[in-house]
């Protein structure tokens, strides 16, 4: 479970990137964080993961405050950043081994899972190449494999489906579902309404740093038809892609 | 501890992997090393003669340990000064930090991991100063096996404490820079701060020493100042203990001092880890990302058209000014030498002697001297040797825009030339102030303008041959590459040979003849450079990615 309490963040004096955000993300569900480009999704996620300091408010992950108990909190979640251009000079296999070491994955588990995951994603044959040579989608996949390797209880993914081909996109969605069924937390952001409709149990909509809506898919649909400003938003989100 | 090791290994792998990527890179690194060999030999020769002649003077009064004491103090100071900039960039400006922030690492683990690369550089510096000093001293005083073992220990341990001092200064300082909350601007402030710190330190040292006396026999000076030197050494406890470890009269005293030294180092490490744990993230998180909003500008006003070459040059210049790492390495560092020069002469009583030297020597010598200083200064400028590499993975945009490769490349040469021009103007002002007469000064101006064009061309050619486009952090373009060294060596050897020839050959006695001869040489060099540049463009431009 993730709790976001009255969180505010601004990069400039005039405008708040995230404004007094309150959100509880329950375990056992897939939670979608929907909003157009520049809405404040990545900023929120970076505060959740300890990359950005929080101006006001607090965030806890399974009860651990990310600011006060960073190590405990960080052991619990796995994070897929919006741009997968990390560790470019490592080979795929070196990266996965590094993650295995950092999160104490036993080597027999590692053997088995690396093969399974990378074969599922179709990057097994590229493991001996440097990540530099990977395409955008392959980079995304190696990072997702790293997260899956240490089986964190909480997944935090920033626009994970952008740039994936249909097959990989399908497998990732399946994995997210499985994870939620095990009673774990899955939190991901997207700017595409269809993704939310296919995948989510619960959804929160954010625009210009403010939370516009939080509820189930059903509730979202009724709200869209009744609320004029949300309908505008709806159009914006469907026009993408 | 295990995790710390893991992280350190990863950071080291990532920061050194570019250096020896393939056999070609290895071979080139080897040739650069060969080029430096003569310089190394000269340095070792000077050092050994200073040490042996000092020992000769000091031995009768049993004062020779002073030599080690003073070199330990110097090494400590140099280590602190050298470490500050590299620590700042490794701790706070490497963009890879974001990758590690979401992983469950303690701040102290990150601090240790991030320290290893700059610490390794420190050992390189010590390899040039500390190691030969201890060896020459040992040979001159006929020391035994114990001395050898102890000096190995000292060599390994000695850099740690000064490095920690530098790291602590940086971490404490960063807490306050962090107020700015703007990553880009803080980088520039921090970089300028470290330069100011180095120059300020230099001034303080100079104010307290009398250089006239210093330049007399070093040995006899030391002999007179024995008390003072020992006091200075005691201000640096690690230098004091290290000296005693190597020069105590009995073996058990030596061992005792070594143990003391180990204890000191352990204490420093403990302090470092504790403070790192508490302070590192404070500076880090504040500095991570930023950019206070700017007020809205009139976009329409900023739309206009320019010839492509001008546009491209402007783009290059803007990129350099706005990217902190580029700004620091290309502009601030090129201003460093002239400013350093000013600081050295302004706070010294030698200004009178420089002026009288200029008046007494003939114009040819003045021209050649000012010229040599400038060649050296331009040689260490990093703008040209990063021309291509600065584009990084965005290089491909040059390939699909409808602009002649020549135009793109020349915009880069012009950029280097303009930036080098800034330091030339500054240096010209200094020469004017020092009383260099008008005619040689004008000649100097014309000649070095050509030199700076050649240096821009040469740097760009070399960077075209060995570009580093696959960086993930801008710092990699400047650190851990031998390309700037290569360019520096070529320029020093070529221009050095030309200067030497003109100076020694009997035909060039008047300043006009000298000027003409050098102009001819430079015009030929410019022609050759342009020819080579065009060839390099043909060969490499479309084959780099
Ligand atoms: N490092 C930064 N500096 C300044 N402004 C930023 C920074 N990061 C994000 N912003 C601003 O914050 C707002 C939200 O951005 P972001 O969270 O990245 O949006 P998205 O919902 O597309 O992920 C945008 O207006 C963006 O311009
Ligand atoms: Mg985003």
The pLDDT of residue B541: 87
Q: For residue B448, how far is its CA from the centre of ligand 2 (angstroms)? A: 50
For CA atoms B420, B425, B426, B428, give the dihedral sign: positive
> How many CB pairs below 8 A link A and B?
69
| Per-residue pLDDT at A240 exceeds 60 | no
Selected residue of B103, B476, B480 to mutate for chain A interface (largest A Cβ count, 10 A): B103
In 3D space, the residue among B344, B339, B490 whose CA is nearest the CA of residue B423 turns out to be B339
Neighbours of A186 (CB within 10 A): 25
Identify the CA nearest to B118 among candidates B244, B266, B15.
B15
Nearest CA to B351 out of B441, B437, B430, B444 is that of: B430
Which position has the token pair 């010590």? B126
Are B29 and B482 in contact by the 8 Å Cβ rule? The answer is yes
Distance A38 CA to ligand 1 centre (A): 5
Instruction: Return the pLDDT at B308.
Output: 78
Please tell me the predicted confidence (pLDDT) of residue B523: 94
Give the largest CA-CA distance in chain A.
55
pLDDT for position B534:
94
Q: Where are the domains of chain B?
A: 24-284, 308-540
Res. A237: pLDDT tops 80? no
Contacts 24+ apart (CB under 8 A), B52-60: B52/B136, B52/B140, B53/B218, B53/B219, B54/B218, B54/B219, B54/B222, B55/B137, B55/B140, B55/B141, B55/B219, B56/B219, B57/B217, B57/B219, B57/B220, B57/B222, B57/B223, B58/B219, B58/B222, B58/B223
State residue B211's pLDDT score: 47
Instruction: Say whether residue B318 is in contact with chain A using an 8 A CB cutoff.
Output: no
Chain B CB contacts of A50 under 8 Å are 101-102
In terms of DSSP H, where are the helices of B178-250? 183-208, 211-214, 218-224, 226-235, 237-247
pLDDT attached to residue B88: 78
User: Along chain B (545 residues), what's the average pLDDT of each consecutive run of 10 residues?
Assistant: 84 71 68 77 82 79 79 84 78 76 88 89 85 88 85 92 90 65 61 64 56 51 64 76 84 90 93 88 57 48 69 86 81 73 60 68 82 86 91 81 85 94 89 85 94 94 89 75 83 84 76 88 93 93 79
What was the pLDDT predicted at B291? 44
Three-state DSSP state, B402: coil
Q: Which residues pair with A211 in a beta bridge?
A: A206
Nearest to A11 among B3, B17, B290 (CB): B290
Contacts of A132 in chain B (CB under 8 A): 470
Backbone angles phi, psi at A7, to 5 degrees: -90, 130
Q: What is the pTM of this model?
A: 0.73
Asked if residue A57 lies in contact with residue A21, where contact means CB atoms within 8 angstroms, the answer is: yes
B291 lines ligand 1 (CB under 6 A): yes
Interface contact flag, B102 A79, Cβ < 8 Å: yes
For residue B448, the model assigns a pLDDT of 94
Residue with tokens 């392959």: A138
Give B106's contacts in chain A (Cβ within 8 Å): 71
Q: What are phi and psi of A56, to 5 degrees?
A: -140, 150
CA distances (Å), origin B195, targets A190, B86, B339: 45, 12, 10
Residue whose token pair is 């001293």: B137
The string of DSSP codes covering B121-169 is HHHHHHHHHHHHHHHHHHHHHT--HHHHHHHHHHHHHTTHHHHHHHHHH
Q: Hey, whose CA ends up nearest to atom 14 of ligand 1? A: A40
B105 vs A71: CB contact, 8 Å cut-off?
Answer: yes
Q: Does B6 lie at the interface with A, CB-CB under 8 angstroms?
A: yes
Using a CB-CB cut-off of 8 Å, the residues of chain B touching A70 are 104
Contact (CB<8Å) A102/B103: yes
Each residue of A138-192: pLDDT tens digit? 998 999 999 999 999 999 999 998 888 888 889 889 989 999 999 999 999 999 8
The answer to whether B545 contacts chain A (CB < 8 Å) is no
Q: Read off the DSSP letter of residue A202.
A: E
Q: Give B15's contacts (C-beta < 8 A, 6+ positions apart).
A: B117, B476, B480
Cβ–Cβ contact B1 with A under 8 A: no
Complex-level ipTM? 0.74
- What CA–CA distances, in Å, run from A89 to B17, B114, B169? 8, 17, 32
Q: What is the mean pLDDT of chain A?
A: 88
Residues with CB under 5 A from ligand 2 (ion): A 42, 82
What distance in Å separates residue B121's CA from the closest CA in chain A? 21
H or E element in which residue B373 lies = helix B363-379
Q: What CATH code is assigned to A2-239?
A: 3.40.50.300
- Between A121 and B181, residue with greater pLDDT: A121
Q: How far apart are the CA of B407 and the centre of ligand 1, in A? A: 36
Domain ranges in chain A?
A: 2-239
- Ligand 1 atom showing the smallest separation from residue A46 Cα: 17
Amino acid B475: pLDDT = 75
Q: Is B225 helix (H, G, I), strand (E, B) or coil?
A: coil
């Amino acid at each position: 479970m993730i709790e976001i309490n009255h969180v505010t963040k601004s990069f400039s004096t005039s405008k708040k990137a995230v404004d007094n955000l309150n959100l509880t993300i329950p375990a056992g569900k897939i939670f979608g964080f929907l909003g157009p480009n520049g809405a404040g999704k990545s900023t929120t996620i970076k505060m959740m993961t300890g990359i950005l300091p929080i101006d006001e408010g607090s965030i806890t992950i399974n009860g651990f405050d990310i600011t006060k108990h960073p190590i405990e909190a960080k052991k619990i979640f796995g994070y897929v950043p919006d741009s997968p251009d990390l560790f470019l000079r490592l080979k795929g296999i070196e990266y996965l081994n590094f993650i295995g070491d950092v999160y104490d994955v036993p080597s027999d588990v590692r053997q088995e899972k690396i093969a399974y995951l990378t074969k599922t994603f179709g990057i097994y044959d590229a493991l001996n190449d440097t990540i530099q040579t990977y395409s955008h989608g392959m980079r995304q996949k190696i990072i997702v494999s790293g997260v899956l390797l240490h089986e964190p209880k909480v997944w935090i993914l920033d626009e994970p489906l952008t740039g994936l081909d249909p097959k990989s996109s399908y497998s990732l969605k399946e994995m997210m579902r499985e994870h939620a069924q095990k009673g774990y937390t899955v939190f991901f952001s997207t700017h595409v309404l269809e993704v939310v409709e296919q995948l989510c149990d619960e959804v929160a909509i954010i625009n210009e740093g403010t939370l516009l809506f939080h509820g189930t898919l059903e509730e979202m649909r009724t709200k869209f038809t009744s609320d004029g400003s949300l309908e505008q938003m709806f159009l914006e989100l469907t026009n993408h892609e | 501890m295990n995790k710390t090791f893991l992280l350190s290994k990863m950071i080291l792998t990532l920061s050194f992997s570019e250096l020896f990527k393939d056999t070609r890179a290895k071979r080139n690194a080897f040739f650069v090393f060969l080029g430096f060999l003569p310089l190394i030999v000269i340095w070792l020769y000077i050092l050994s003669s200073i040490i042996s002649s000092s020992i000769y003077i000091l031995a009768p009064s049993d004062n020779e340990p002073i030599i080690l004491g003073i070199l330990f103090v110097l090494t400590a100071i140099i280590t602190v000064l050298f470490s500050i900039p590299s620590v700042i960039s490794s701790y706070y400006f490497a963009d890879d930090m974001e990758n590690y922030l979401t992983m469950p690492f303690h701040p102290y683990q990150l601090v240790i991991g991030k320290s290893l690369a700059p610490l390794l550089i420190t050992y390189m510096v010590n390899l040039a100063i500390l190691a030969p000093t201890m060896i020459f001293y040992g040979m001159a005083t006929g020391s035994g096996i114990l001395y050898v073992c102890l000096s190995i220990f000292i060599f390994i341990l000695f850099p740690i404490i000064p490095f920690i001092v530098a790291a602590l200064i940086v971490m404490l300082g960063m807490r306050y820079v962090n107020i700015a909350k703007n990553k880009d601007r803080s980088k520039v402030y921090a970089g300028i701060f470290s330069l100011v710190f180095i120059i300020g330190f230099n001034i303080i040292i100079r104010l307290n020493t009398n250089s006239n006396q210093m330049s007399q026999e070093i040995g006899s000076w030391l002999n007179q100042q024995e008390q003072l030197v020992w006091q200075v050494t005691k201000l640096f406890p690690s230098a004091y203990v290290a000296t005693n470890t190597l020069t105590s009269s009995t073996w058990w005293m030596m061992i005792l001092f070594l143990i003391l030294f180990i204890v000191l180092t352990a204490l420093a490490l403990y302090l470092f880890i504790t403070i790192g744990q508490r302070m590192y993230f404070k500076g880090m998180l504040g500095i991570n990302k930023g950019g206070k909003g700017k007020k809205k500008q009139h976009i329409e006003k900023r739309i206009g058209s320019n010839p492509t070459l001008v546009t491209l040059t402007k783009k290059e210049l803007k990129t350099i000014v706005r990217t902190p790492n580029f700004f620091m390495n290309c502009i601030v560092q090129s201003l460093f030498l002239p400013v350093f020069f000013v600081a050295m002469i302004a706070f010294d009583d030698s200004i009178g002697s420089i002026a009288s030297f200029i008046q007494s020597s003939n114009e040819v010598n003045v021209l050649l001297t000012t010229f040599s200083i400038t060649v050296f200064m331009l040689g260490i400028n990093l703008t040209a040797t990063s021309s291509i590499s600065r584009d990084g993975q965005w290089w491909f945009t040059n390939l699909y825009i409808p602009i002649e490769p020549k135009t793109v490349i020349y915009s880069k040469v012009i950029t280097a030339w303009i930036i080098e021009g800034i330091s030339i103007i500054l240096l010209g002002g200094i020469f004017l102030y020092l009383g260099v007469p008008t005619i040689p000064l004008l000649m100097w101006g014309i000649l070095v303008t050509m030199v700076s064009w050649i240096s821009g061309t040469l740097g760009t050619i070399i960077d075209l041959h060995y570009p580093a486009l696959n960086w993930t952090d801008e710092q990699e373009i400047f650190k851990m590459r031998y390309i700037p060294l290569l360019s520096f060596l070529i320029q020093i050897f070529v221009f050095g040979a030309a200067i030497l020839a003109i100076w020694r050959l009997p035909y060039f006695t008047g300043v006009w003849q000298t000027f003409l001869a050098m102009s001819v040489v430079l015009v030929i060099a410019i022609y050759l450079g342009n020819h080579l540049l065009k060839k390099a463009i043909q060969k490499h431009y479309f084959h780099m990615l």
